[in-house]
Amino acid sequence: MRSLPLEGNSHLLGKHIVYFETSVDSGIERARSEFKKGDIAFLPSTGSFCFFVGDIESSKSMTLIGKFEDNNDELKNVKPGDVLRLYEETT
């Protein structure tokens, strides 16, 4: 949370993962490899934040960090190179 906001160019991994790489350096906690549509996970080996647009069993272990509150179908329209931004909304 201290690193927010973060942004980077998007990458696609198959049809189920949209991600962007960051300089965040953190270990893995409560590793898992099965994710559901709407999950958000952190991949420590590359400092990437991954957004799942479908259910998937990943070959890499990641840390689940959150879920989408709203419909995440917009991520299906993301193209490689689009800028993604992760930030904390304050009220």
Instruction: Give the pTM.
Output: 0.84
Give per-residue pLDDT as tens, 13-35: 888 899 998 888 787 788 899 99
The CATH number of the domain holding residue 63 is 2.40.100.20
- Reported as a pLDDT band with limits 50, 70 and 90, residue 51 is very high
Query: How far is 80 from 66, CA to CA, in rounded Å?
Result: 23
Q: Domain count of the chain?
A: 1
- Kindly report the average pLDDT of the chain as a whole number: 86
Residue 49 lies in a domain: yes
Please provide residue 40's backbone torsions phi and psi, each rounded to the nearest 5 degrees.
Answer: -125, 130
Q: Which domain holds residue 42?
A: 6-69
